[in-house]
Amino acid sequence: MRSVCPHNCPDTCAMLTTVKAGRAVEVRGDPDHPTTRGFLCAKVSRYLERTYHAGRVLHPMRRVGAKGEGRFEPISWKEALDEIAHRFKEIIAEWGAQAILPYSFSGTLGLLHSNSMDRRFFHKLGASLLDRTICGSAGVVGMAYSVGSSMGMDTECFDGARTILLWGTNTLTSNPHLWPFVTAARKRGARVIAIDPRKTRTAEQCDEHIALLPGTDAALALGMMHVIFRDGLGDEDYMDRYCVGRNELAERAAEYPPDRVAAICGIPAASVEALAVEYATCKPAAIRLNFGMQRHAGGGMAVRAISCLPAVTGAWRSASGGVQLWTYETFPVNHAALQRFELIPPGTRTLNMVELGRILTEVTDPPVKALFVYNSNPASVAPDLERVKAGLRREDLFTVVHEQFHTDTANFADLLLPATTQLEHVDMHIGYGHLYVMWNAAAIAPLGEAIPNTDLFRRLAAHMGFSDPCFQDSDESMARQALQSEHPWLAGITLERVQAEGAVRLNVPTPFAPYAEGGFSTPSGKCELFSARMARDGHDPLPTWTPPRESSASSPELFARYPLALISPPGHYFLNSTFSNVLARFEKGPHLEIHPIDAAARSIISGQRVRIRNDRGAFLADAVVTERARPGVVVAPSLWLSSLTPDGRNVNHTTSQAVTDMGGGATFYDNLVEVEGAS
Ligand SMILES: Nc1nc2c(c(=O)[nH]1)N[C@H]1C(S)=C(S)[C@@H](COP(=O)(O)OP(=O)(O)OC[C@H]3O[C@@H](n4cnc5c(=O)[nH]c(N)nc54)[C@H](O)[C@@H]3O)O[C@H]1N2
Ligand SMILES: Nc1nc2c(c(=O)[nH]1)N[C@H]1C(S)=C(S)[C@@H](COP(=O)(O)OP(=O)(O)OC[C@H]3O[C@@H](n4cnc5c(=O)[nH]c(N)nc54)[C@H](O)[C@@H]3O)O[C@H]1N2
Ligand code: SF4
Ligand SMILES: [Mo]
């Protein structure tokens, strides 16, 4: 059977599932898919372990213990749905429908199970809208200011690059199917440079590693522009034809000489000089820009600044040059048909998912009285978990969780409902690291009484008495609606074709060089090095460096108490909190990488239990003294379920609910802490 990896990962792999007598016995990567190329990652190659895991939630359940304790008794689906409809009607009568909040994110990225019947249901209900910002919204907004949208390079063109910057991304862990293209480019002589505060397994494999301080990327980009303008290395013809604001940008870049940038970034000035010259002269030059740098106060501006670079040097002229943030916005999918925005009552409020702690403990008018969680595990992944958990403990909050596993959030549920995994349902997918529309067939029957998200919300709509015809739509008819578009890139791509072929490439020109001759989707139609729109939105219209909110530069008093910057990027075997229950044996256990200098100053040795703390909270981990972490920066590979940690707390007990400069994104890596021995 053809399957698609549903997880939040750019690669969206094509899988082949072998089924014998109704049981899936093997999953492997499809050798014919142009980016999957026959291999799955360390996590999903073990997907059967996940599907058939003893910890699966297989029946509807009602809480019997205290909130957070995770004790339940089985009930029937009818009882569960009746109770939800009854409680929702009561809450709506007393508080209005906006007292109900859906909370979903990226458990599955399938269009059907994350973007269709669920959205229709909550829109019709009149529930508060959720701003789904926790991952990459800062960069999406930041890049759009420069080029008009977040559309950029095609993964399949990276092999033609001569310079590749892996900027704020741990490719071998979080985007492994880009790596064969990087390797192919290298075989033809390309140099590959990692820009990352941590010596990741990717940085180790690169020709060069620039270990800058977290949250200083915009300064580095401006330093590169300084050198490029100063030495006349820019593509003046490209800027004349296709850009606005060349002179203003050059003036701004003049304020960032290499020695100033070196001091901000904590790297040698010579590295800035050399990087600029190499980037501007060894073309095509490709930048894989990922999410690491976005999780800081200035994350949007950092992406905005970097996405000006390929216009300054004319890198966009080649399909193997430019920037890739993600490919999601290249797909002209009909989201309006899938989600039915017209069902939203006018004036409905929007709440930002990053602020769940505040939402559950402070928001009134109306307060949130019901939380409906699916495709997400906020009690592990959201920032400032002390506050989130205080909210989830509220006796007057009715919490429903639709899940595959007993996650930290599931433990707080009043009603816990069983969800199918990818092998048990159908779905349609688009990639965010490739350009294929894909179909996932149901390989096996649902286990236990598990049902897919679409079925759950169809049934709930019936229980609430919603009679609009869109609540009758089958999964396949919604998949057809998603492809209904006038856009030429979807012409001829029908559901039948996607089902038959498994993966169908968008009709984009190949090779895909979206801005080779301008064609930016900004208001001016040009790359906006100076952006009047940013000025109107209250931002600096030119690229600038915004220091982290928590740093010696912007909060010296806080820095004096908490002098270490803590970042918490993904563990190799985990996918956010997913897989941490199934594959924990491959990770070291909750641990903290700390540089020998910082460890010695605190008399910390490898293997010692340490407490990592700030004013928001604390968690325990085992110290790993290593030069993988640079001085001043500590690293907690993530995300552990709280239930697998020594003290029931993971890194998000220290992270902040403060949001990014644009897009309302999370600032997980803008986080000062102190570390002390705990054993
Ligand atoms: N195995 C695995 N794969 C995953 C995930 C996972 O959890 N596990 N998560 C998936 C998801 S949801 C996403 S969004 C992506 C995320 O994947 P990436 O975009 O790769 O993002 P992160 O891992 O958050 O950060 C990448 C790197 O940025 C570095 N970094 C941190 N701060 C900064 C900074 O200020 N500047 C720079 N230049 N670098 C910085 C980190 O050390 C890290 O190595 O990966 C997806 N793939
Ligand atoms: N400190 C720190 N925190 C972070 C990050 C970080 O780097 N550091 N990364 C952030 C990022 S980039 C992201 S994207 C978020 C991710 O946040 P989430 O999207 O909440 O990610 P997961 O932890 O993978 O949880 C998804 C849950 O959905 C469930 N699920 C899977 N498929 C289905 C389904 O079909 N139906 C239902 N009902 N449930 C399903 C899974 O079992 C899993 O428990 O975390 C963020 N949190
Ligand atoms: S690399 Fe990403 S898309 Fe591919 S199987 Fe692993 S998690 Fe899924
Ligand atoms: Mo993410």
Q: What is the pLDDT of residues 143-202, one digit of tens each?
A: 999 999 999 999 999 999 999 999 999 999 999 999 999 999 999 999 999 999 999 999
For residues 283 and 163, give the distance between their C-alpha atoms in angstroms, rounded to a whole number. 6
Q: How is residue 626 written in tokens?
A: 């290593």
Mean pLDDT of 391-413: 98
For residues 449 and 615, give the distance between their C-alpha atoms in angstroms, rounded to a whole number. 44
pLDDT greater than 90 at residue 679: no
The number of the ligand 1 atom at minimal distance from the alpha carbon of 574 is: 8
Mean pLDDT of 361-380: 98
Mean pLDDT of 114-134: 98
Mean pLDDT of 652-673: 98
183: enclosing H helix or E strand: helix 179-187
Q: What is the DSSP string of 396-456?
A: T-EEEEEESB--TTGGG-SEEEEB--GGGS-EEEE-SSS-EEEEE---SPPSTT-B-HHHH
Q: What percent of the chain has pLDDT over 90?
A: 99
Calculate the alpha carbon distances from 49 to 27, 44, 331, 421 in Å. Answer: 11, 9, 32, 12
- Share in percent of the chain as helix, strand, coil (round to 5): 35, 20, 45
Distance 337 CA to ligand 3 centre (A): 28
Among protein residues, the one with the nearest Cα to ligand 1's atom 6 is 575
Q: Which residues contact 547 (CB under 8 A, 6 or more apart)?
A: 215, 216, 297, 298, 553, 554
Q: What is the pLDDT of residues 327-350, one digit of tens each?
A: 999 999 999 999 999 999 999 999
Q: What is the pLDDT of residues 488-511, one digit of tens each?
A: 999 999 999 999 999 999 999 999
Mean pLDDT of 267-273: 98
Distance 31 CA to ligand 4 centre (A): 26
Q: Does residue 9 line the site of ligand 3, with CB under 6 A?
A: yes
Would you state the pLDDT for residue 505?
98
Residue 348, amino acid: T
Would you state the pLDDT for residue 134?
97
Would you state the pLDDT for residue 34?
97
Q: What is the pLDDT of residues 52-84, one digit of tens each?
A: 999 999 999 999 999 999 999 999 999 999 999
List the alpha helices (DSSP H) in 232-295.
Answer: 236-242, 246-254, 258-265, 269-281
* Average pLDDT value for the chain: 97
Q: What is the pLDDT of residues 41-55, one digit of tens each?
A: 999 999 999 999 999
Q: What domains appear along the chain, each with residue ranges and CATH number? A: 2-51 (2.20.25), 61-130+335-437+447-474 (3.40.50.740), 153-324 (3.40.228.10), 556-677 (2.40.40.20)
Distance 576 CA to ligand 4 centre (A): 8
For residues 215 and 631, give the distance between their C-alpha atoms in angstroms, rounded to a whole number. 15
Residue 594, amino acid: I
Would you state the pLDDT for residue 290?
87
Q: What is the DSSP letter of 367?
A: P
Among protein residues, the one with the nearest Cα to ligand 2's atom 11 is 135
Calculate the alpha carbon distances from 181 to 184, 437, 615 in Å. Answer: 5, 20, 44
Among protein residues, the one with the nearest Cα to ligand 1's atom 24 is 292
pLDDT confidence tier of residue 616, bands split at 50, 70 and 90: very high
pLDDT greater than 90 at residue 126: yes
Residue 630, amino acid: R
Would you state the pLDDT for residue 374?
98
For residues 447 and 599, give the distance between their C-alpha atoms in angstroms, rounded to a whole number. 48
**Within 6 Å (CB) of ligand 1, which residues are found?**
8-9, 106, 135-136, 167-170, 173-174, 195-198, 200, 214-215, 217, 290-293, 296, 567, 569-570, 572, 574-576, 669
Q: Does residue 619 line the site of ligand 2, with CB under 6 A?
A: no
Distance 187 CA to ligand 2 centre (A): 36
Distance 353 CA to ligand 4 centre (A): 13
Q: How is residue 395 written in tokens?
A: 């006796």
pLDDT greater than 90 at residue 550: yes
Task: Classify the phi-psi angles of 242: left when phi > 0, otherwise alpha if psi is within -120 to 50, otherwise beta.
Answer: alpha
392: enclosing H helix or E strand: helix 385-392
Mean pLDDT of 464-478: 98
Ligand nearest to the CA of 211: 1
Would you state the pLDDT for residue 595?
98
Least confident of 214-228, 311-325, 441-455, 575-589: 575-589
Q: Which 3 state secondary structure label does DSSP give 128?
A: coil
